[in-house]
Structure 1
Amino acid sequence: MSKLMLGIIDATTYKEEMKDLTFNRSIAAVPFAGRYRLIDFVLSNMVNSGIESVAIFPKYQYRSLMDHLGSGKNWDLNRKRDGLFFFPSPDLPVPQIGSFQHFQQHIDYFLRSSQKYALICNSYTVCNMDYEAILQRHIENKCDITQIRHQGKSLNMFILETSLLLELISTQQQTGYQSIIDVVHDPTNQLTICDYEYSGYVAVIDSIESYFLHSLELLRPNIWKQLFLKSRPIYTKVKDEPPTRYMNGSNVKNSMIANGCIIEGHVENSIIFRSVKIGKGTVIKNSIIMQKSQIGDQCQLNNVIIDKDVRISDGTHLFGTKEQPFVIQKGTMQGALMNS
């Protein structure tokens, strides 16, 4: 059943509310949960649902995304037939999810695909979803398009026959439909539009506030267990790094610490990514510290998001709020280091 489905990930979305984390990367490549990227979740869901052909359509700052995914080996998508495909179209205007104009530029991919059905998804929804079960419901109910919802809101995920998708792409000039969203929202069309209500955990990451909220939410065991399932693992780029070192005097409470770190200070209710160094006497609470950042001695950080490769000098104090966390952009320096 699942091998009948083609995976399409629309990674063209730009959110002004995410600009502090997307200056050098697309939303799909934003780090999440200590060692993952946002795209890992939808891509892993597709692979766990048996999908063997996945096309990614990026637009903005996609070098980081391509570096992360590579050939698709970590998702078992580096194969001779089907596998992982990239189809960037940076010259197109800002599209909606499932832009027919974007698909038109790479129409050969759809024409050569043998899968009867197509699954179109965004790249910034965090969940652990079985698309095979949804396809089964789609077929049983004889739907033309199935729209996946959560708590009554669309997740911008759609299932339809590939032949229908090709028809919508080829007739966009006549119908005026620019995207799959336009089709679903048009009450006058003759298609059977079905809704599938997903009841599991969902986090839509479309702002700094939602990113911060849903990241720290993972520190709650009941949330973590809904997202990270042994039977349906979330895959990501493998990096061989040593275990984290907890030095004398370090203290860690209710936190997620990735491998390769050196912890000398106090960490509480926080997420620390790979290869982070936290100095002596430093206190970090309610914060997210991304890969390879270095926090000096005697610092205080609360409600802070620190992007990758940031250096914080000794004695620096940074404070935000839950509603407006203090964000430091990738590769910058904060504190006395700025004037050195």
Structure 2
Amino acid sequence: MNLLAVVDASVKKEGLQDLTMQRTVSSVPFAGRYRLIDFTLSNLVNSGVSTVGIFPSYPLASLLDHIGVGKSWDLDRRKNGLYFLPVTQRDGGLSSVGAFAALEEHIQFFTKSNQPHVVVTNSFVITQLDFKDMLEQHIDSGADITEAVSQGVSLKNYILSRELLLELIQTHQDKKVVSVEDVVNLKKSPHVFNEYDYKGYFAVIDSIQSYFEASFALLDEENREQLFLKDRPIYTKVKDEPPTRYMNGSKVKRALIANGSTIMGEVIDSTISRGVYIKKGARIEKCIIMQKSSVEENCDLKYVIADKDVFIGEGVVLHGTAEHPIVLRKGETVRKEDLR
């Protein structure tokens, strides 16, 4: 396909700080078994894009571990495939997509490529974007830059020629612009702008509340059917784990539960990731419990987000609200005596 992909995984969102202290936004877990970047990479692969450059910021370990060489997305190729291009500015990471300073660090990625067009995308907007269709409309429109939008909301996905992107990278300091998103928002001449109207499920994940709302939106079958399409699957890192075990006395209602977990208690309106233990007598309602966390006996949790490897001791009661869920950070331990 005549499209080169830039995945800007350096964008930082202050509203997600509790979930990004040890990882980038792109590697935040979502929907039980995925990471946010999975949706972007899957859209690219399903659209026939085979040359993908990921531009991440620090900390990198979680993202590197998840993506590897791109095998799960069929991007581990001898020709083209996946390029991991870290942004060296540790204090960098703008809140806008396609920062020219970051792209300039790896200018050879663009000068050595032969695709005539580039899609600049992000890893915090959940969609089922068809970039092939978007490219066709972009070319037909004759515009310089096409932006994907839905219901008046920018999806922060942009297509432009590789030649124009190189020009913008090389002149951004003189023109006082910082990113592709910035150029689109300013809409200054002589560039011509176009909008691609996306119809389908989408979610912009830029705060704890939006993350919480998007997670629970997927408990509705209609939203899942729009996002998880049979002919456009969402790929993720493969993990061989046994099915989840539902023990005698367990109760589950309206929940997304990944494989490898053990459910002994009650789970209602919640998302449970891989390898989670919900012990006997525990009640989980409107919660997100991430990978390898453990909820001990007789706990009562409501509106709680528990990051990976969280341990919640016996009898702990934690009640947040829909507007202000309680966030337990990665690796945190909570016991009854801690709450007195």
Stretches of structure 2 lacking an aligned partner (at least 5 in a row): none
Cα shift at 1:63: 1.3
In structure 2, C-alpha distance between the alignment counterparts of 1:191 and 1:120, rounded to whole Å = 17
What code does the residue aligned with 1:153 have? Answer: V
Aligned pairs (5 A) from 1:75-224: 75-91=73-89, 93-95=92-94, 96-224=96-224
Which residue identity lines up with residue 16 of structure 1 in the other structure? E
Tell me how far apart the structure 2 counterparts of residues 262 and 104 of structure 1 sit (CA, whole Å).
48
CA distance in 2, matches of 1:188, 1:19: 33
Supply the distance in 1 between the matched residues of 2:265 and 2:150 (Cα, whole angstroms).
40
When normalised by structure 2's length, the TM-score is 0.96
TM-superposed deviation, 1:13: 1.4
Residues 50-103 of structure 1 deviation map (CA, whole Å, 9 limit, x = unaligned): 000100111131210111000000000000011111111232634331111111
Give the superposition deviation at 1:338: 6.0
Q: Helix, strand or coil for the counterpart of 1:20?
A: helix
Alignment of 1:282-321 (within 5 A): 282-321=282-321
Shift, 1:228, TM fit:
0.2
Displacement after TM superposition at 1:307 (Å)? 0.5
- Aligned counterpart, 1:39: 37
For 1:333, the aligned partner's letter is T
Q: Distance in 2 between matches of 1:173 and 1:255?
A: 49
Would the aligned equivalents of 1:313 and 1:337 in 2 still touch at CA under 8 Å? no
Between 90-99 and 245-254, report the one with greater CA deviation.
90-99
Residue 93 to residue 292, structure 1, CA distance change in 2 (3 Å): closer
Q: What is the Cα deviation at residue 337 of structure 1?
A: 7.8
How many residue pairs get matched? 337
AA of the residue aligned to 1:249: G
Task: State the Cα distance separating 1:280 from its structure 2 match.
Answer: 0.6
Query: 1:12 Cα deviation (Å)?
Result: 1.1
Contact 1:289 1:307 in 2 (8 A): yes
- Does structure 1 retain, via aligned residues, the 8 Å contact 2:57–2:92? no
Most deviating of 268-277 and 81-90: 81-90
Contact 1:145 1:193 in 2 (8 A): yes
Gaps of 5+ in 1: none
**1:73 is the counterpart of 2:61:** no
Contact 1:312–1:337, Cα closer than 8 Å, also in 2: no
Q: Distance in 1 between matches of 2:127 and 2:8?
A: 16
2:26 is matched with which residue? 28
For 1:81 and 1:101, locate their aligned partners in 2 and report how far apart those are by CA, in whole Å: 27
Partner of 2:268: 268
Residues 108, 222 of structure 1: CA spacing in aligned structure 2 closer, same or farther, 3 A cutoff? same
Contact 2:276 2:293 in 1 (8 A): yes
Q: Give the superposition deviation at 1:336.
A: 4.2
User: Aligned partners of 1:45, 1:240: CA distance in 2, in Å?
Assistant: 24
Deviations 1:190-216 (A, max 9, x none): 111111121211100000001011101
1:257 matched to which residue of 2?
Answer: 257
Give the CA RMSD over aligned residues: 1.3
- Match for residue 240 of structure 1? 240
Q: Structure 2 residue aligned with 1:52, among 35, 50, 65?
A: 50
Secondary structure in 1 aligned to 2:26?
helix
Contact (CA 8 Å) 1:28, 1:37: kept in 2 or not? yes
State how far apart, in whole Å, the 1-side matches of 2:232 and 2:294 are.
34
Match of 1:184, as an amino acid?
Answer: V
Counterpart Cα distance in 2 of 1:337 and 1:53: 53
TM-score by length of 1: 0.96
Contact 2:127 2:203 in 1 (8 A): yes
Q: Please give the alpha-carbon distance, in whole angstroms, between the structure 2 residues aligned to 1:14 and 1:229.
A: 29
Letter in 2 for 1:38: L
Question: Hey, what's the Cα distance between the residues in 2 that align with 1:20 and 1:284?
Answer: 21
Counterpart secondary structure, 2:15 = helix
Q: Is the 8 A contact 1:274 1:290 kept in 2?
A: yes
Aligned position for 1:18: 16
One-letter code aligned to 2:112: R
Secondary structure of residue in 1 paired with 2:142: coil
